[in-house]
Amino acid sequence: MIIGMVKDKTTYTVILEDFTGYETIKLDAKVTQKLFFDDVLGIKVRKEGEEFIGYKVFFPSLTFLECLVA
């Protein structure tokens, strides 16, 4: 899982940033449309080659709600 703040996004990718750096994660276009800059979230990922593919997005709250990506 990668946790960070949305630094930038395109149609199919999101860049999450934390104090140690940033990571580019590929997501479904429907999911990236729902994300906003400076959102803090966690993304469960799998690594394919040199890329991270996100398959679940978690939005922090008191109950840590979950949104299924794929």
* Res. 65: pLDDT tops 80: no
Structural domain including 44 reads 2-68
Helix ranges (DSSP H) in 1-70: 29-34
- Write the CATH number for 21: 2.40.50.140
pLDDT at 60: 79
Interval 7-51: pLDDT, tens? 999 999 999 999 999 999 999 999 999 999 999 999 999 999 999
Is residue 15 within 8 Å of 37, Cβ to Cβ?
Answer: no
pLDDT at 59: 83
At 29, list the tokens: 């276009």
At 35, list the tokens: 């994300």
How many residues comprise the chain?
70
Domain count along the chain: 1
pLDDT-based confidence at residue 66 (cuts at 50, 70, 90)? low
Quote the CA–CA distance of 49 and 61 in Å, as a whole number: 32
- Does residue 53 sit in helix, strand or coil? strand
